[in-house]
Amino acid sequence: MNRPAAVARRAAKRPRAPDPAEVAVIGHALRSVAAEMGAALRRTAFSPNIKERRDYSSAVFSSRGELIAMGDDMPVHLGSMPMSVSAALKALKFAPGDVALLNDPYRGGTHLPDITLVAPVFLPRRGRPAFYVANRAHHADVGGMVPGSMGPAREIAQEGIRIPPVKLMRAGKIDSQVMAILLANVRTPVEREGDLTAQLGACRIGMARMRELVERFGLERLMRGMQAGLDGAERLMRAVLARLPAGEWAAEDFLDGDALRPEKTAIRVTLRCDPARQRAEVDFTGTDAQVPGSLNAVFAVTWSAVFYVFRCLLPPEAIANAGLMRPVRVIAPQGTVVNARPPAAVAAGNVETSQRIVDVLLRALAAPLPARIPSASAGTMSNLTVGGVDPRNGAIYAYYETIAGGLGASPARPGASGHHAHMTNSLNTPAEALEYAYPFRIVRYALRRGSGGAGRHRGGDGLVREIELLGDARVSMLADRRETPPWGLAGGADGAPGKCALIRDGKEQALPGRFTLEAPTGSRLRIETPGGGGWGAA
């Protein structure tokens, strides 16, 4: 027997180990597809919320719906989007030219204004999709009881139109009936149609770029690189977990009360780490039950927040994908504020509760990782919505934005001022864009000096945004960190809590963190966002 020849034949049959350089090239190529989709959406969108604030996300998925690449977009979108893609794949059978649309929070969505499109990528002579591309964008209005669809609702039916997975496009043509139903249920149909068509265009670009990658690398080689990227992300996460001490750490934090529930709402987490098995468990048992208002988060939002925190533990150059969470188990009991059951309202769960989930998980991680974890950042997206009739042209408008705050200081440096933190990665709408698009005058836009917590490293300062309304309007606010300020670490002081006031007829009225009110022409709304916590004794 010729043993060398037999060994050579067996070696030839074994799958070739992927070249690390090639895996990196393929990973970055896939990431560039998601990034280009986002750039196309931003350039072609109608609303300032998407065009200026960049409240959107894009990603690429495998034929099984696994996340394989994402843009550097909104963390609360990206971690949850795979569940929307999975819901679309279960509900629909895709043919070439089809595009699915959905926003149902109980099918992988976040809250109703976030509309997701999912498009299959078919290749020649293949009967099923080889990949999927998807994007999610926050639409400034999707109907409901208040302009901007972000008011203090008691159930999801009050928050706007709720869309299960349906086909917006069939065989390359928009389904006019689906589009008509959607546009009949919103306040700003022209803007909504423009933003949806921008999302469709971004999907087309993603589909084209994925086909180009198949031509460049070959399907088998591309699939091998994708799988190696997933496995590599898992190995990276396991290596991080292996360096953590074995143990169990608990933390709690609170959401403010409001008119619907005066008591604070507790979020509690227990983090268990098993470095020998390179696994972690994040357990939210003990968290308060779901509440009458809209602070309820669906499981997709909670999963997304955990995904974000553990992604932050990886090296900055790591490409995040579905492999990252393989060693991490998330327990979120149903019926709690971190895994609500329908018909609970969920608008603020996406924007506010997601922030508090990050805060409480970071607080738990501060025990095993004291040299890495920063103090609490602003902890609120300070969601402002305004709607009415524009006196300049008689058109109905709906404006939405999140307002930045201070970042928490870290063991290495002070916190940055006037930044969007954690689950939001958007921008503030420029004053010029606001005044051009809406009947507003920006009276003041500045850092809120001294709002960051004192410490060896000081927390970042929040912002002051003061807007004068040039027409009668309905104003809504969803914000937090008014009662429980952003906490400091290692002896650092807490950041200043947020504030809001309405100024009319020369009188100033303090406002709570969550409200809806009618404001007459000439009223001024002043929002002061929280500062970040300080780190270390001063």
Total tally of structural domains belonging to the chain: 2
Give CA–CA dist 23/537, Å, rounded. Answer: 45
Boundary residue ending a domain (205, 232, 259): 232
- Is the residue at 51 inside a domain? yes
- Is the residue at 260 inside a domain? no
Boundary residue ending a domain (191, 215, 232): 232
Q: What's the confidence (pLDDT) of residue 2?
A: 59
Q: What's the confidence (pLDDT) of residue 17?
A: 65
Cβ(375)–Cβ(453) below 8 Å: yes
* DSSP per residue, 148-172: TS-S--SBGGGS-----SEEEEETT
- Is the residue at 285 inside a domain? no
Between the CA of residue 144 and those of 161, 260, 428, 513, what are the distances in Å? 7, 18, 25, 20
- Is the residue at 247 inside a domain? no
Give CA–CA dist 208/34, Å, rounded. Answer: 12
- Is the residue at 251 inside a domain? no
Q: What's the confidence (pLDDT) of residue 72?
A: 83
Please report, for the chain, how many H helices and E strands are present, in that order: 12, 20
Asked whether the CA dihedral 461, 310, 278, 228 is positive or negative, the reply is: negative
Q: What's the confidence (pLDDT) of residue 316?
A: 85
Walk along the chain (538 residues) and give the pLDDT tens digit of each residue: 456 555 555 545 555 667 889 999 999 999 999 999 999 999 999 999 999 999 999 999 999 999 999 988 888 888 899 999 999 999 999 999 999 999 999 999 999 999 999 999 999 988 899 999 999 999 999 999 999 999 889 999 999 999 999 999 999 999 999 999 999 999 999 999 999 999 999 999 999 999 999 999 999 999 999 999 999 999 999 999 999 999 999 999 999 999 889 999 999 999 999 999 999 999 999 999 999 999 999 999 999 999 999 999 999 888 889 999 999 999 999 999 999 999 999 999 999 999 999 999 999 999 999 999 999 999 999 999 999 999 999 999 999 999 999 999 999 999 999 999 999 888 889 999 999 999 999 999 999 999 999 999 999 999 999 999 999 999 999 999 999 999 999 999 999 999 999 999 989 999 999 999 999 999 999 999 999 999 999 8
Q: What is the pTM of this model?
A: 0.94
Domain with 92 in it: 20-232
- Is the residue at 43 inside a domain? yes
- Is the residue at 92 inside a domain? yes
Boundary residue ending a domain (199, 232, 265): 232
Give CA–CA dist 338/200, Å, rounded. Answer: 32
Q: At which residue do the structure tokens 């972000």 appear?
A: 150
- Is the residue at 284 inside a domain? no
Q: What's the confidence (pLDDT) of residue 265?
A: 98
